[in-house]
Amino acid sequence: MTDKAILEEKIMSKASDNDSPQENSLINIQNYDFFYGDKQVLFDVNMDIPAKQIVSFIGPSGCGKSTLLRNINRMNDLVDGVHHNGDITINGQSNYDPHLDVISLRRRVGMVFQKSNPFPKSIYENVVYGLRIAGVKNRSVLDEAVERSLRASFLWEEVKDRLKDSALGLSGGQMQRLCIARAIASGPEIILMDEPCSALDPIATLKIEELIHELKKNYTIVIVTHSMQQASRVSDKTAFFYLGELIEYSDTDQLFSTPKEKKTEDYISGRFG
Amino acid sequence: MKKNNTNKPKGDSWVWFTSLGLSTGLLMVTGILIYILCQGLSAFWPKDVAQVKVNPDSSVNINGSKTIAGVVVKDQIKRKEINGEFKDVQELQLFVANRDLYNLSFIYIDKKDIEQKKYPENLMMVERLNDSKAIIIPTKLIKEDKTEIPFEDASFEAEFSKLVQEAENIRDKAYDIQVGPISDIVKKNKNLVVDQYPYYEKLKFNNETIQYLEQYRNAVESLDKISIGFLGLPSDEQAKYPESKEYLKLFSEAQLKLSEIGGSDFKNYQEIQEKISKGKVEESELVKQVTSLQKDLNKHTLEFTTASGYNSKVTIGNVIHYFYPNRLSTGNKIGMFFSNAWNFLTEDPRHANTEGGVFPAIVGTLMMTILMCIFVTPFGVIAAIFLHEYAKQGTIVRMVRIAINNLAGVPSIVYGAFGLAFFVYYVGGSIDELFYGDWVKSGNGAMFGTGGMLWASLTLALLTVPVVIVATEEALAAVPRGIREGALGCGASKWQMIKTVVLPACAPGIITGMILAMARGAGEVAPLMLVGVADIASELPIDSAFPFGLERKFLHLGYNVYHVGFKTVDSEASQPLVFATTLLLISIVALLNLAGIIIRQRLKKRYATSAF
């Protein structure tokens, strides 16, 4: 299996994480419409997400930001009756290319969910889950991946003595960091985060934010958040969505200090939403 | 806090109504359980035997005798018509045993007719091998050499118990020969006959060979009638039977002709025939050993009389257990209670299942239930996975689901009929035709084309599969969406997701389905009557060699309850046994369920999904 070979190689040579070319645009979204059945939830979205940057999606509930995020790794395929117009490309390859293997796409685009969802397995097994299902059996590769991912998610020092314990014994913040470790273990390029801190207390949130900041060195991160403070703290660029439309998309500082659109200004100043 | 009745919310009286429903249900369940427990356990408790003298004016008697000994089974009030008037009469029901002598097991006596009631210590309760229980007063022991030991003699007790023990050893020895070497030889001979059959078919190519084969086989049969396995005997033995000459002549004539025509086929046929005859000789030697052992069993006899004045005797070999009910102290009774219970669990049934233990039925019930679980669980789980995970949810799936739920309501006898038609006749018949053709045609009877363990457990698996499907589907639906997405987000395919995350998470639910299936299947009797249960089974449905005894008929506790309780001549006398069997069946089902619950608890701990 070629996928497996690529994965093994990637994990053993840490260098490979750093030497991917600095492209201007990694994810490219063009004229993207999206429908749940008859209901259109995204209207003509156009945006470029640059590599090794953190982009946050903000906007009121139901504005379509999570939907867009979940289309980047095609998680919305699981919902019945969805269809779309336009295209999303990653590194120039279309997400809707009929030859594209959705499974390998999801391996390249990791995801962290709103509710932490560790599997009812040991901490170790949680982290190596993606590798195991890709067919990696080599013990040293797995051990290496566990340590690297857990270190990267600042969890190593806390759990290194109880890797064989159930992941369900961890605290909420630790569980979410474990989910991040799980997402980065199989060496993705992009990590999607769907409101990763919404169920966490402020201290745990702070830790996750530090972690996100650290991960920026190696990964492109797209984060959906309800907290404008969080968006302004962690992200390089921010996109504001309203009723399925991308209203404004620019550098975070600019968007929060001098928004171009009236709607953006109303939203960030708390006049609605 | 202050009580304030005026603030009591309206409609709270319904709480009482719901609790009434629950308590009525609980009361009925515990009631029936306690009843079965008492009745079942009392079957093992040795009871005193009363000797009653009845008023000469009363019509009650046993063949004219007014003295009756028996165990008081019931003390009840009955409404009776006396001289045109209805009156409540206190009456006793006595279990008098000795059915072979009295032709009845129970007798009813009005309490007022009883002149005298005592508990003589010389009454002996005997459990016999080939008859029902007996309540006797021993008179004397007559040994092989005609020496007599009267009951009053001090040495009687020691001598009698020694002889009974000896008889048991002899019975064991005979039993060992029967189930060991004899059944081995019988099996070997059956296989030889099967091996021989193809040559027989090959040889039947024209009328002449058919005629000579007939002659050959008839001669063998007739010679076997003279002495079993005649052709396998040494020639000097054969010479002892002058009447065999005529058949031997026919035999040799046919043999000569056939070897001319048949060539190598006949040579093979002949060789196997020789082996069969030798096997028969071996078998008859062993049978002779058993017969002589059994003769030993009848060497000594016990003469006795009964309270009602019958004189009779019983051979020692016929006595299985005996005791003096009225001599037992409470401690002795407790001891006997446990030994009776133990015997019930470990002994084979006797006297058409109405006496003795239920060991084969326990094995049959357990095997069938476990096999059923092995069949039903994977089948149900796979069906549920497809239905819930892969099938496109729509009208058809909804209808399939309704159909599955309805299947659970189909009368079980219908499943029995289906099992008989499909599994036994069609599948079993086809297997017999394809793989056991020679076996069936050579006169050994059907192998798989008859009811047996395999078909019974498959039929019950079919009966219980809706339960497993429904339970598994519920468990699948309860797996949180989060962990499914988590798995897919890590790049798992749908099947990988189901295998690695979903199935472990719903394992406890699957086990619940299995427990429900087990509870339903273990108590089911009606379909078994058609697809595999036996009244009397000689062999346990377990074997070390293929097909592992799965083709055999078996005994089942539930069927035992029906058969012994309602279909035997003297079902009332075996009532305690029926209660004990019921209790055992309930306990086995409860134990199996308990095992299931423990496994489920473990799985729950291991695969508990996160609190979120």
CA separation for the pair B25, B157 (Å, rounded): 53
pLDDT digits (tens, 9 = 90+) for A200-249: 888 888 888 988 888 888 889 999 998 888 899 899 999 999 988 899 99
- A104 interfaces chain B, CB cutoff of 8 Å: yes
Q: How confident is the model at residue B299 (pLDDT cuts 50, 70, 90)?
A: confident
Residue A19: pLDDT over 50: no
Mean pLDDT of B536-549: 75
Contacts of A47 (CB under 8 A, 6+ apart): A29, A239, A246, A249
Residue B43: pLDDT over 90: no
Residue B609: pLDDT over 60: no
Using an 8 Å Cβ cutoff, are B610 and A168 in contact? yes
Residue B136: pLDDT over 70: yes
- A106 interfaces chain B, CB cutoff of 8 Å: yes
Question: Which pLDDT score is estimated for B399?
Answer: 94
Cβ burial of B288 (10 Å; 0-12, 13-18, 19+) is exposed
Residue with tokens 């047996």: B452
How many structural domains comprise chain A? 1
Least confident of B122-136, B227-241, B346-360: B227-241
- What stretch of H or E contains A171? none
Residue A23: pLDDT over 90: no
CA–CA distance from B443 to each of B280, B370, B447, B501 (Å)?
17, 33, 11, 54
Whether residue A273 lies inside any domain: the answer is: no
Using an 8 Å Cβ cutoff, are A127 and A171 in contact? no
CB contact under 8 A, B491 and A168: no
pLDDT digits (tens, 9 = 90+) for A77-90: 888 888 899 999 99
pLDDT digits (tens, 9 = 90+) for B399-423: 999 999 898 889 999 999 999 999 9
pLDDT digits (tens, 9 = 90+) for B269-284: 778 888 888 888 888 8
DSSP state, residue A247 = E
Taking CB atoms within 8 Å and a gap of at least 24, the contacts of B290-293 are B290/B174, B290/B177, B290/B178, B290/B182, B293/B170, B293/B173, B293/B174, B293/B177
Residue B31: pLDDT over 90: yes
Minimal CA–CA distance to A111: which of A187, A65, A179, A59?
Answer: A179
Nearest to B491 among A119, A120, A130 (CB): A130
Using an 8 Å Cβ cutoff, are B560 and B358 in contact? yes
Q: How confident is the model at residue B455 (pLDDT cuts 50, 70, 90)?
A: very high
A219 compared with A9, residue with greater pLDDT: A219
> CB atoms < 10 A from the CB of B325, how many?
19
Contacts of B28 (CB under 8 A, 6+ apart): none
Q: Which of A129, A132, A186, A198 to mutate to test the interface with B (most CBs of B within 10 A)?
A: A129
CB contact under 8 A, B612 and A183: no
CB contact under 8 A, A133 and B488: no
Residue with tokens 């024209």: B206
Nearest to A106 among B491, B504, B609 (CB): B491
Contacts of B19 (CB under 8 A, 6+ apart): none
Mean pLDDT of B8-34: 86
Question: E strands, B66-161, where?
Answer: 67-82, 85-95, 106-110, 114-118, 124-128, 134-142, 148-150
pLDDT digits (tens, 9 = 90+) for B520-537: 888 889 999 999 888 877
Q: How confident is the model at residue B67 (pLDDT cuts 50, 70, 90)?
A: confident
CB contact under 8 A, B490 and A107: yes
User: Please, where are the H alpha helices in B408-534?
Assistant: 412-419, 429-435, 437-439, 453-478, 481-489, 494-497, 503-522, 526-531
CA separation for the pair B254, B219 (Å, rounded): 9
Would you tell me which CATH number, out of the four given (1.10.10.10, 1.10.3720.10, 1.20.58.1610, 3.30.420.40), belongs to the domain B364-609?
1.10.3720.10
**pLDDT, chain A, mean:** 86
CA separation for the pair A142, A162 (Å, rounded): 16
Question: Which pLDDT score is estimated for B610?
Answer: 44
What is the number of helices (H) and of strands (E) in chain B?
A: 21, 13
pLDDT digits (tens, 9 = 90+) for A124-156: 999 999 999 888 888 999 999 999 899 888 888
Minimal CA–CA distance to B60: which of B71, B52, B49?
Answer: B52
CA separation for the pair B469, B405 (Å, rounded): 9
Question: Which pLDDT score is estimated for B8?
Answer: 63
Using an 8 Å Cβ cutoff, are A237 and A252 in contact? yes
CA separation for the pair B314, B302 (Å, rounded): 5
Least confident of B55-64, B92-101, B449-458, B468-477: B55-64
Q: How confident is the model at residue A100 (pLDDT cuts 50, 70, 90)?
A: confident
Nearest to B485 among A104, A117, A182 (CB): A117
Q: How confident is the model at residue B3 (pLDDT cuts 50, 70, 90)?
A: low
CB contact under 8 A, A175 and B610: yes
Question: Which pLDDT score is estimated for B448?
Answer: 82
User: Percent of chain A scored above 90 by pLDDT?
Assistant: 25
User: Percent of chain A scored above 70 by pLDDT?
Assistant: 91
CA–CA distance from A179 to each of A78, A188, A194, B429 (Å)?
20, 14, 12, 57
Contacts of B505 in chain A (CB under 8 A): 120
Minimal CA–CA distance to A21: which of A220, A236, A221, A251?
Answer: A220
Query: Phi first, then psi: what are they for B412, rounded to 5°?
Result: -65, -25
CB contact under 8 A, A179 and B483: no
List the Cα angle A217/A220/A225 in 5-degree steps: 110
Host domain of residue A172: 3-268
B63 compared with B8, residue with greater pLDDT: B63
**pLDDT, chain B, mean:** 85
Question: Which tokens hold the place of A213?
Answer: 């900041």
Contacts of A103 in chain B (CB under 8 A): 491-493
CA separation for the pair B63, B70 (Å, rounded): 15
- A4 interfaces chain B, CB cutoff of 8 Å: no
Question: Which pLDDT score is estimated for B269?
Answer: 79
Residue B181 half-sphere exposure toward CB, CA atoms < 13 A: 15
pLDDT digits (tens, 9 = 90+) for A119-129: 888 899 999 99
Mean pLDDT of B160-176: 88
Q: At what angle do helices A172-185 and B481-489 cross, to 10 degrees?
A: 30
CA separation for the pair B68, B55 (Å, rounded): 12
In chain B, where the domains are located: 50-143+302-333, 174-296, 364-609
Least confident of A57-71, A191-205, B24-38, B237-251: B237-251
Query: Using omega within 30 degrees of 0 as the cis cutoff, is the peptide bond preceding B547 cis?
Result: yes
3-state secondary structure of B427: helix
Q: How confident is the model at residue B64 (pLDDT cuts 50, 70, 90)?
A: confident
Mean pLDDT of B554-581: 86
CB contact under 8 A, B487 and A107: no
Residue A168: pLDDT over 80: yes
Total-model pTM: 0.80
Contacts of B482 in chain A (CB under 8 A): 113, 115, 117
Nearest to A103 among B491, B607, B612 (CB): B491
- Mapped to the 3 state alphabet, what secondary structure does B255-304 carry? HHHHHHHHCHHHHHHHHHHHHHHHHHHHHHHHHHHHHHHHHHHCCCEEEE
Residue A181: pLDDT over 50: yes
Question: Which pLDDT score is estimated for A12?
Answer: 64
Question: Which pLDDT score is estimated for B376?
Answer: 94
- Which amino acid does the sequence have at B67? T
3-state secondary structure of B527: helix
Mean pLDDT of B153-179: 87
Q: How confident is the model at residue A24 (pLDDT cuts 50, 70, 90)?
A: low
Predicted-complex ipTM score: 0.85
A143 compared with B569, residue with greater pLDDT: A143
Q: How confident is the model at residue A15 (pLDDT cuts 50, 70, 90)?
A: very low
Mean pLDDT of B563-569: 84
Q: How confident is the model at residue B24 (pLDDT cuts 50, 70, 90)?
A: very high
Q: What is the CATH number of the domain that holds A166?
A: 3.40.50.300
Q: How far apart are the first and last CA of chain B?
A: 37
- A175 interfaces chain B, CB cutoff of 8 Å: yes
Nearest to B501 among A115, A119, A199 (CB): A119
pLDDT digits (tens, 9 = 90+) for B505-521: 888 889 989 998 998 88
